[in-house]
Structure 1
Amino acid sequence: MPTVAVLGAGVVGLTTAVKILEAGYDVVVIAQFFPGDPRDIRYTSNFAGANHSSMAGDDKRQFKLDMDTFEVVWKMSEPDSPTANLFMRTPIIHYFHEPMEKPDPLAGVMPEYRNLRPDELRVGATSGTYFMSVTFDVWRYLPWLYSQVLLKGGRVVRAQVQHINQVLEGAFCEKPDALVICAGIGARTLGGVEDENVFPIRGQTVLIHAPWIKSCMGAKHLPGVTSYVIPRPCGDVILGGTWLYDDWYPKPREETHDSILEGAIKLVPELAPPEVFASGRTPTAEDLKPLIVEAGCGLRPGRKGGVRLERDTVEVPNAGGKKVPIVFNYGHGGQGYQSSWGSAMEAVRLLKEGISFVVMNEVDGLKISE
């Protein structure tokens, strides 16, 4: 049974490891951070808002990855599913400042999709959409993925990999027969990859506890409102947020924190506790502060050109010219959760092709040498 080393244990790495295990390979996941570790800016998956609302637009490849993922998570979130508690089925409502110029690819695809009526619009929006989807309970979902890797026979090694040659030469486990790179933003500096197209998209959020909120809402391109509200099944609600390119700052900024609260209460006044409405006064950002659980900040792994999802071969050092297949699956930006299963399926397909290609070349080489 070929051994596949997967570098990275974020949502993309763990999902990819699960699918490789299901394909019948031996898997070892090598990463510096795993679910359950203390929060660290270098482990982005912990900080995601994590709903499924494709932003692929005209990118047909990205849209397929998203929709393949939605098919999986929608089934996982069915009320009688053992994994239902990892998700919250919820309406997702988007408000727009201008009418959409092109047909929405989600129309006719997402459950209950429709355009908002004029009486449903808010915060100065002139149009909007409604559909049903899911939000991920990140703090449950990531440990569940991790458990699936272990239950299916995968192994894990905690290590800070500086160069892929360290893995190829067997520094952390036996020499693998294939390598899959799911290093997220780490792909920018990982030796042997060093993808200069990778860059951070800084996201800052505020997590509050407001179990009465049951719908996702987001305002796009509205003057003075750049907010989204994402509820989770545990009763917590993610308020966001920022989308700042090439911003590496690793901690929440106070001024951004305040603007998130102000934008959120403007978009969704219902965030304020029920007693505020009972008092008859208009909710303000101050009403949200007693509800705060934590402020968050993460660096989404953006990439110029989009997700890198492709295969190649790499030579194993000090092994007489031996080559093994390598598959790249990183650069998902803010779409890691919503394209995770689709990209994992594609990574497995590429992995199988890569292994077959290397084996065929080795056989041809033997024939030539004879």
Structure 2
Amino acid sequence: MKSVRVVVVGAGVVGFSTAVCISEAFPSCSVTLVADSFSPHTTSDGAAGIMYAAEFPDIPLERQRCWFKDSSDHLLAIAQSQHSPDAGVILSSGCQLFKEVPANLKPFWSEFVIGFRLMTDEELKRFPEYKFGRAFTTAKCECSSYLPWLEKRFKKAGGLVEKRKVNSLQELSHFDLIVNCSGLGSKTLVGDTQVHPVRGQILKVEAPWLKHFIRDADGKTYIFPGIHSVILGGTRQEGDWRLQVDRGDAESILERCSRLEPSLRKAKVLSEWVGLRPGRRNLRLEREVVRLQDRRVPVVHNYGHGGFGVTLAWGTALDAVGLVRQCLNEIPLQAKL
């Protein structure tokens, strides 16, 4: 008896999360993950990986709350388990700073992090440029450990991994169901003109004395202590395809972060990294049917997370499982036999 053949395109945090959720939810399906880049060569590998979110403008807030809650539950459970060191998921405490008081004092995700509160005037004295702050503890996920851990979990559930570039959905016409988690690759793979690069550059430094994260709410300046190093960022350059390190950006990052945390002027730079986030006005999580080689093949799309891939990956993966279930119920019986 031949099982339904499912293919997931993309090996970043969204692709592997989705592949794991599908393979564990439907053990009778044959699930293959196909990608041309794997860890440590994915955009996810450079992500700061700290759990907080911004709102997508045209997606119901309740759906975004579900994505955040499901991801948060998943990562916090790992952080507080014996899997934490292998998976690279830890708890991290710190603050988010605003130069102007935001309209919304409590964001939609505030109830799902630990100990969310508004900072006191006394605490803000440390940051004279800022008028408002939020303090909380949340999960931090280091994808250089987390992606290999997810890959092992996927293979344990019977998943298959294939390294090759997919140029067109036509190349996948022998599968019964396609799940597209190709991120920025969706621009060419499915001709999505709405997805665009958002260039991010970071530095990794040695500063073991720093224990708490600090993030400017504009998303361009942040200090995130991790397991082996501290990530300093960053840039959010829309429509910029450059993958080489920019010296001017590196100097700007160091200067901005040192204003927040003067001790960083003594930190040793370990490495520099550039990645292209899959920017999109709204994350795309939906299904459609496409015609491939005279067959109608269902496709589930899950991409366009921007800078919130790690934050929303597990929640959107579980949502994608629901769409996959709908597709499986509609696949003709002969495909299942």
Output the TM-score relative to the length of structure 1.
0.83
Asked if 1 retains the 8 angstrom alpha-carbon contact of 2:94 and 2:136, the reply is yes
Q: State how far apart, in whole Å, the 1-side matches of 2:306 and 2:325 are.
A: 26
Q: How does 1:150-299 map to 2 (within 5 A)?
A: 150-168=155-173, 175-190=174-189, 193-221=190-218, 226-234=220-228, 236-271=229-264, 285=265, 287-288=266-267, 291-299=268-276
Q: Which residue of structure 2 lines up, in the alignment, with residue 93 of structure 1?
A: 95
Separation in 2, partners of 1:338, 1:107: 13
Paired amino acid for 2:45: N
Shift of 1:81: 2.9
CA apart distance, 1:322: 2.9
**Contact 1:5 1:30 (C-alpha < 8 Å) held by counterparts:** yes
What residue number does 2:285 align with? 309
Stretch deviating more after TM superposition (344-353 or 92-101): 92-101
Q: Distance in 1 between matches of 2:272 and 2:72?
A: 28
From 290, 297, 313, give the equivalent of 1:324: 297
- What's 1:118 paired with? 121
| SS of corresponding position for 1:327 | strand
> Which segment is superposed worse, 327-336 or 106-115?
106-115
Matched letter for residue 215 of structure 2: G
1:87 and 1:137 in contact (8 A); partners too: yes
Q: Distance in 2 between matches of 1:313 and 1:226?
A: 38
Distance 1:194 1:350 in 2: 21
Aligned to 2:8: 6
Q: Distance in 1 between matches of 2:263 and 2:64?
A: 34
Structure 2 distance, partners of 1:91, 1:83, is 16
Cα distance in 2, alignment partners of residues 107 and 244 from structure 1: 27
Q: Deviations over 1:124-164 (max 9, x none)?
A: 21110001101112211111111111122111111111111
**Structure 2 gap segments, 5+ residues each:** none
Partner of residue 23, structure 2: 21
Seq. identity, %: 31
CA distance in 2, matches of 1:27, 1:109: 31
**Change in 2 beyond 3 A, CA 1:185/1:307:** same
CA distance in structure 2 between the partners assigned to 1:87 and 1:360 by the alignment:
41
- Larger RCO of the pair (alpha carbons < 8 Å, separation 6+): 2
Q: In structure 2, what is the equivalent of residue 333 of structure 1?
A: 306
Q: What's the offset of the Cα at 1:296?
A: 0.8
Opposite residue 303 of structure 2, the aligned amino acid is Y
Deviates more, 1:237-246 or 1:59-68: 59-68
Instruction: Provide, for residues 258-314 of structure 1, a one-character-per-residue CA deviation record: whole Å limited to 9, x for no partner.
Output: 01001111112243xxxxxxxxxxxxx4x23xx11111111000113x111001112
How many residues are paired up?
Answer: 325
Counterparts of 2:334 and 2:150, CA distance in 1: 35
Contact 1:227 1:267 in 2 (8 A): no
Post-superposition shift, 1:226?
A: 4.2
Alpha-carbon spacing, 1:226–1:358, altered in 2? closer, same or farther (3 Å): closer
Match of 2:37 among 33, 36, 59: 33
Distance 1:361 1:118 in 2: 67
Q: 1:108 to 1:32 in 2, by over 3 A?
A: closer
The offset of 1:315, in angstroms, is: 2.2
SS of the equivalent of 1:102 reads coil
Listed as ranges, the gaps of 5+ residues in structure 1 are: 169-174, 272-284, 363-370
Read off the aligned partner of 2:122 and give its amino acid letter.
D
Give how far 1:194 is off: 0.8
Aligned to 1:172: none
2: CA distance between counterparts of 1:200 and 1:237?
A: 25
- What is the letter of the counterpart of residue 232 of structure 2? L
Q: How far is 1:179 from its partner?
A: 0.5
- Cα 1:123–1:2, aligned 2, differ >3 Å: closer, same or farther? farther
Q: 1:226 to 1:334 in 2, by over 3 A?
A: closer
